[in-house]
Structure 1
Amino acid sequence: MPTTLTSADYQQAAQNMNTEVAVIKAVTEVESGGRGFLTDGRIVIRFEPHLFHRYTQSKFDASHPQLSFKNLKPGYPTGVVQSWQLYDEAKVLNLQAARMATSFGLFQILGSNWPDCGCKSLPEFITRMSKSEAEQLNLFCNFITNQGLNDELREHQWARFARIYNGKNFKLLNYDTKLSNAYKKFSA
């Protein structure tokens, strides 16, 4: 079973990013419920059918409408188990697109963001994400630094952070409000 984050891991990351532990814990809670792996050892994922649609140029919209469609549908997939089912089906059709359209780990970083995580390839990203929550945290720190999001986290600019991190539809899922509330909880 992959290892979980320790207090020292959080403290080191907060120091490296010049922010608070509560900020990092807030992101983990909102993005993954605070867990990087399922009890069976599989990584926590979220398969995004609207992104699979984009990466496959809508090739599978008609034949696999549960896997590929144009617009984000809040609440779909319904959770990690369904995401794994969809991901497993999608990777048979197009492995690269399935990986790119899936968010991984504690911080739910999209596979398409592998370069900003400091990885040399998408397979390296998947391998490192699957290793441990500490490795997921390292990749997150790289991503935040390479995306220039340190200030947004440090200054609690939740809406700006959520727009860049979660995309233009962040308000549909109230990411900014959830981040603010989680930060208040962990900083209390």
Structure 2
Amino acid sequence: GRSGFLEDKRPKILFESRWFHKLTDGRFDDSHPGLSTPKWVRNYEGGAKEYDRLAEALALDREAALKSASWGKFQILGVNHGVCGFPEVERFVGAMTESEGRHLEAFVGFVVANGLDDELRDRRWDDFAFGYNGPGYKQNRYAERMAEAYAKHSGGVLQPTVADIQRALNAHGADLAVDGVTGPKTRAAIRAFQREAG
């Protein structure tokens, strides 16, 4: 993947105006509509220009500004500093400036604290992407991209998900809920298909 740092060695960030609005109770919506919005809007400048937006927000409310940016390789929102293992947002930001190893440390803390480690370990990409990125994860193909990256770097081929298997079994006459869970009915349908197919 891509580096978690810009060419000038600062960590990559995206400033989230919706979070700045939330953390400042909308105090700056009228005076700084590019920094504070009640709803999510795609108003990113990208790259080093995100630091210009952050600097403007820092002058208004330092703590809210740092918490409103997503940081580093894994784009973890500063407001999540505590679950990542950093008691203060300033310490989190300091760690994000150090190395991608610190980015990984924060990512692991976030994943474990939010109970997403099983989804990751079990390669349940959709469940993980939903838990990590929220309901909008599909529009950025996060789950698909994770599955592709896993296949590329694991040396293996993409394995079908349980939901894929359930759909295939249903195409052969099974009547399964396509829920991605290997429950008793799914296991029985797999055994029946194996017996039938020889």
TM superposition score normalised by structure 2 = 0.72
One-letter amino acid of the counterpart of residue 154, structure 2 = S
The number of residue pairs the alignment matches comes to 155
Q: Which residue of 30, 35, 38 corresponds with 2:3?
A: 35
In 2, Cα distance between the equivalents of 1:104 and 1:128?
A: 10
What is the match of residue 128 of structure 1?
A: 95
In 2, Cα distance between the equivalents of 1:187 and 1:82?
A: 35
In 1, Cα distance between the equivalents of 2:54 and 2:74?
A: 18
What is the match of residue 20 of structure 2?
A: 52
Runs of 4+ with >3 A deviation: none
One-letter amino acid of the counterpart of residue 64, structure 1 = H
Looking at CA atoms only, which structure, 1 or 2, has the larger radius of gyration? 2
TM superposition score normalised by structure 1 = 0.76
- Cα-Cα RMSD: 1.6
Unaligned runs of 5+ in 1: 1-28
Mapped pair 1:73 → 2:41: yes
Q: Which residue of 143, 148, 172 corresponds with 2:115?
A: 148
- Structure with higher RCO (Cα < 8 A, 6+ apart): 1
SS of the residue 1:123 aligns to: helix
SS of the residue 1:46 aligns to: strand
- Report deviation, 1:85: 1.6
What is the match of residue 126 of structure 2?
A: 159
Unaligned runs of 5+ in 2: 156-198
What is the match of residue 61 of structure 1?
A: 29
One-letter amino acid of the counterpart of residue 85, structure 2 = G
1:62-88 deviations in whole A, cap 9, x for unaligned?
Answer: 1111111122224x3042223212111
| Identity level (%) | 38
- Report deviation, 1:154: 1.3
One-letter amino acid of the counterpart of residue 86, structure 2 = C
One-letter amino acid of the counterpart of residue 127, structure 1 = G
- Report deviation, 1:186: 2.7
8 A Cα contact 2:120 2:128, kept in partner: yes
What is the match of residue 175 of structure 2?
A: none
SS of the residue 1:124 aligns to: helix
In 1, Cα distance between the equivalents of 2:55 and 2:90?
A: 16
In 2, Cα distance between the equivalents of 1:81 and 1:68?
A: 19
- Report deviation, 1:170: 2.0
- Report deviation, 1:136: 1.3
What is the match of residue 139 of structure 2?
A: 172
- Report deviation, 1:169: 2.3
Mapped pair 1:118 → 2:109: no
